[in-house]
Amino acid sequence: MGDCLWHSQNETWKEWLNWNSDLVPNAIHNLSTKWFENESGKFPAIVMGLNIPDLTSADTFVDHVIVQFKNQRMCSPPETANMTITIVGSMTAGDFRNRWVQRASTDPILQHFMSLMVLADVLHIQGRQLLDRASLISVDRNPP
């Protein structure tokens, strides 16, 4: 019974956070490497959930996110070439992409890890609605 009550309270807290994201500071909600499987086989992918309600501290927060990504990538299998970042809050996927790409241009480690990616998407959501989407993979890496 205690577990059910805790679970119920925890779910209520999560719902409150979703509806009141502007009251919660910028945070990494989750960060992990998961194994997925499709017709081509099993593959690892980094998944990250971000809460970004406060754009005034966004630059510092994106720097923190990048450090955490690099740490996660170093702990992930060498063949990790997929990543999805989901954002809840005020920052758009395009704005996040611009900040990420700007930092990658001066960070050789981030640049290297991104050069190994075949898919690196940022999704900006609100509830079940996709607000916008952007790719972190450099356009000049994928000529037409």
Residue 92: domain span: 25-141
Question: What is the count of structural domains for the chain?
Answer: 1
Rounded Cα distance, 44 and 75, in Å? 12
Domain membership flag for residue 109: yes
Please indicate, yes or no, if residue 7 is contained in any of the structural domains. Answer: no
Does the residue 97 lie in any domain? yes
| CB-based contacts of 61, cutoff 8 Å, min separation 6 | 26, 52, 54
Rounded to whole angstroms, the Cα distance separating 75 from 69 reads 10
pTM beyond cutoff 0.85:
no
Beta bridge partners of 82: 119
User: Does some domain include residue 31?
Assistant: yes
Residue 6, domain member (yes or no): no
Classify residue 3 by burial, with Cβ atoms within 10 Å: 0-12, 13-18, 19+: exposed
Q: Which two tokens stand for residue 79?
A: 């063949």
Q: What is the pLDDT along the chain (144 residues), one digit of tens a residue?
A: 344 333 444 455 455 445 454 556 899 999 999 999 999 899 999 999 999 999 999 999 999 999 999 999 999 999 999 999 999 999 999 999 999 999 999 999 999 999 999 999 999 999 999 999 999 997 655 444
